[in-house]
Structure 1
Amino acid sequence: MSQAVLAYARPAIADDIARRHPELRLILAHMGHPYEGECIAVIRKHPHVYADISTLHYRPFQLWHTLMLVQEYGVWHKLLFGSDFPFTTVDDTIAGLHRIAGVQAPGFASLAAEEIDALIHRDALTLLGLSSS
């Protein structure tokens, strides 16, 4: 893993692909970690680029901060649930999301619990245009 080129993880690479292929559905794994803010800018910009939240519950503050950015930019609808199985479980990921739902920093709104529930229950196949329903 230490030999992997971190620059290739940049969500901005997906921006170039999405501009050249606007109908292509792209999913940026792990909210583009460690470039979560850049990931949010890319999914906001392109109608068919999404991100998943897998593995982020291991770092609760980072997950909270990332979802606060998601909330501020109004892109909850662009998120997909992911657990990173087999390294963690669906139940652990859901519990991690629920733990941060009520957290509020002074002067800031808390995360919208209904948006977290919508993320957990979102029909990804329909969202991605892969279902006939």
Structure 2
Amino acid sequence: MKYKRLNADPSVFGITRGPHRRVTGLRREEVAERAHVSTDWYARIEQGRLGANPSPEVLAALCRVLQLSPAETRYVFNLVGQRPLERPVSGVSAALRAGPAAAAGVSHGSPVDDRGVESDFCGSIW
């Protein structure tokens, strides 16, 4: 991860190289910001510190920001003993946008629908 971060082209991310920029690639802060994690958390992951056990979603976001290839992404996931996500995390799924009942696969009129658990639960049992 460090190698990819230091060799990334900042201009691809909309970062202009000023005369006082000491880092040739991306700073940790810039990677963390784009992956929506704290700088400290990213540093722990990059350095392989004990206790850094990132979620698959965090790893996927970091791999996306660092523009890792599929093989590199699998390698990163293998390092922490996880399997890569089947599909990239790119936001809220359509089911979640439709409402909690749709996300749970519950049809309208069932004891648990978009009106909540309490909507005629007893009536549906009897």
TM-score computed with the length of structure 1 as normaliser: 0.31
Whose Rg is larger?
2
Higher strand share: 1
Higher helix share: 1
TM-score computed with the length of structure 2 as normaliser: 0.32
